[in-house]
Amino acid sequence: MNNKQTGKLGEDMACDYLTQLGYDVIERNFQKRSGEIDIIAWDNKEEEFVFVEVKHRKTDIVGRPEEAVTSSKIKKIISTAYQWLEERDIDDPWRIDIISITNNDIKHFTNISQEMDDILS
């Protein structure tokens, strides 16, 4: 399985996981010049949009998948999220989550806002 196939499998697993949690998956692989958002979902419980970065690795031998989400990547997600919201004239609350998958082990990091605050300050 190549990296592209591994990535798609990870996104499929993440969508299934989010759906089981009661999220509505709205869009996948939203792309702009500023970057790409893997999954855009609506969290029915918190009533907010969620921009999800998915990292999937076969093993964690080179590190945990979530460690690959750099400050640069988060800045790109923020910029792209703003574009998505603006295009749809949406001002509802939103957040960024990370879903990390190694083999079939899924970890969900919700609302990485503290990291965003540190990056943007």
- The 10 Å Cβ neighbour count of residue 95 is 17
Cα angle at 63 between 12 and 32, to 5 degrees?
Answer: 50
Structural domains in the chain plus CATH codes: 3-111 (3.40.1350.10)
Using pLDDT thresholds of 50, 70 and 90, give the confidence band for residue 10: confident
Which among 43, 60, 45 is positioned nearest to 97, based on CA atoms? 43
What is the value of pTM for the model shown? 0.89
When mean pLDDT is compared over 18-32, 46-60, 90-104, the highest value belongs to 18-32
Helix (H, G, I), strand (E, B) or coil at 40: strand
Give how far Cα 64 sits from Cα of 14, 58, 102, Å.
16, 10, 8
Task: Between 39 and 119, name the one with better pLDDT.
Answer: 39
What percentage of the chain reaches a pLDDT higher than 90? 66
